[in-house]
Amino acid sequence: MFPHKGVQQLKSIVGVMHERSLEIFQLKKQALEQGDEAVAHQVGEGKDIMSILLKANVEASQEDKLPEEEILAQMSTFILAGMDTTSTALSITLTILSQHPEVQEKLRNEILEASKGEPLEYDALVSLPYLDAVCRETLRLYAPVAQVFRETREDVVMPLSHPIRGVDGKTIHEIFVPKDTVVAVGLLASNRNKAIWGEDAEEWKPERWLSPLPGSVTGSKIPGIYSNLMTFLGGGRACIGFKFSQLEMKVVLCLLLSKFTFAQSDKKVNWVLSGVRFPTVGNSPKPSMPLKVGLYKGAVPA
**Mind listing the pLDDT tens digit for each residue in 25-42?**
888 888 888 877 777 777
Residue range 174-185: mean pLDDT, rounded: 95
Measured CA to CA, the distance from residue 22 to residue 24 in angstroms comes to 6
Contacts of 40 (CB under 8 A, 6+ apart): 46
CATH of 67-295, one of 3.30.930.10, 1.10.630.10, 2.40.110.20, 1.10.260.40: 1.10.630.10
* Residue 183 β-bridge partners: 150
pLDDT at 56 over 90: no
- What is residue 149's predicted lDDT score, i.e. its pLDDT? 92
What is the distance of C-alpha 192 from the center of its chain? 17
What is the distance of C-alpha 109 from the center of its chain? 25
Of all residues in the chain, what percent carry a pLDDT higher than 90? 54
* Domain range annotation of the chain: 1-66, 67-295
183: enclosing H helix or E strand: strand 182-186
- What is residue 80's predicted lDDT score, i.e. its pLDDT? 73
Q: What are phi and psi of 144, to 5 degrees?
A: -55, -35
Provide the whole-model pTM: 0.82
pLDDT at 302 over 80: no
pLDDT at 52 over 70: yes
Binding residues for heme: 239
pLDDT at 106 over 90: yes
Binding residues: 239
Residue range 239-243: mean pLDDT, rounded: 88
**Mind listing the pLDDT tens digit for each residue in 117-131?**
888 999 999 999 999
